[in-house]
Amino acid sequence: MYTATINVRFYETDMMGIAHHSNHFRWFEMARIEFLRHIGVTLWDMMDEDIVFPIMNVSCNYKEPARFDDTINIETYLVKMTRAQMVFKYRMRRASDGALLATGETKNAFMSKSSGKIVRLEDRFYQPILNAVEEMPHD
């Protein structure tokens, strides 16, 4: 598990000071990229090898609102990995009280940036990512 931390910025909120629901997907992406960097795999390195990993499926279950200036911890778990795809699960908590704000999941496929076709990862990227797979514990 990797925990990314963000503060809800004013421009991410509506007139009531609540974070717009679409921001959760950006925060998932930020946490996913930080997770990969943490295990030694960078998006730049993959793109240098003509590999990108677009979202194939994304979901978010909202529990409580995130508000302006909340500090949020995004627990990020890689729960499934094959040579052609990876699946992450997320748990977002408000840092001040640990309240569960949202849970989510993303499924990414590995694709050639130049051809747009699905590719299978070589060991250079596959092994470090595979080694990070774990189950997300239940609350």
pLDDT digits (tens, 9 = 90+) for 34-44: 999 999 999 99
Q: Which domain holds residue 72?
A: 1-130
Whether 139 is in a domain gets the answer no
Q: Total domain count for the chain?
A: 1
- pLDDT of 136 over the 80 cut: no
pLDDT digits (tens, 9 = 90+) for 79-134: 999 999 999 999 999 999 999 999 999 999 999 999 999 999 999 999 999 998 88
Q: What is the pLDDT of residue 134?
A: 80
Whether 122 is in a domain gets the answer yes
3-state helix, strand, coil in the chain (%, to 5): 25, 40, 35
Its pTM surpasses 0.85? yes
The whole-angstrom separation of Cα 105 and Cα 94 is 18
The whole-angstrom separation of Cα 130 and Cα 86 is 9
Q: What is the pLDDT of residue 76?
A: 96
Residue 139: pLDDT band (50, 70, 90) is low
Residue 138: pLDDT band (50, 70, 90) is confident
Whether 137 is in a domain gets the answer no
Whether 26 is in a domain gets the answer yes
Beta bridge partners, 74, equal 4, 92
Whether 102 is in a domain gets the answer yes
Closest CA to 94 of 64, 73, 116: 73
Q: Alpha helix (H) ranges present in 1-121? A: 23-38, 43-48
Residue 126: give its domain's CATH number: 3.10.129.10
The whole-angstrom separation of Cα 10 and Cα 18 is 9
- The catalytic site residues sit at 14
Whether 136 is in a domain gets the answer no
* Burial per residue of 63-86, b for 16 or more beta-carbon CB atoms within 10 angstroms, e otherwise: eebbebebebbbbbbbeebebebb
Whether 34 is in a domain gets the answer yes
